[in-house]
Structure 1
Amino acid sequence: MSVSKLNEDSQDQIFDLLENLQQIEKLKNKDIRILLDKVVRQYGGKLVNK
């Protein structure tokens, strides 16, 4: 499995998890942004607003 494929799978899993948590009202948009920011900072990234 290539690195890009692994990243794609991980992104899909993270998206599905966040979407499910949001649907059962365990996470609000602000909480999701905070969690995503923590994840991307570990890899030297920064979450930006679109």
Structure 2
Amino acid sequence: MKCPYCDKKMIKGFLMSSRDITFATDNPDCQYCEAYHCSSCKKIMIDYGNK
């Protein structure tokens, strides 16, 4: 996926939270939300339609 802000490639990963929000690139064993991270402009995109 390309970043809509800077047009660079985004990294696919997962957002997890028990208190602090964590972004991980490996598939977690706990509850998670699929997300994409742009390391260039420091944005995170969440596709909440994806189940």
Higher relative contact order (CA 8 A, sep 6+): 2
Question: Which bracket does the TM-score occupy, shorter chain normalised?
Answer: under 0.3
Under a length normalisation based on structure 2, what TM-score does the superposition of the two structures give?
0.26
Instruction: Tell which structure's C-alpha radius of gyration is larger.
Output: 1
Structure with a larger share of its residues in strand: 2
Structure with a larger share of its residues in helix: 1
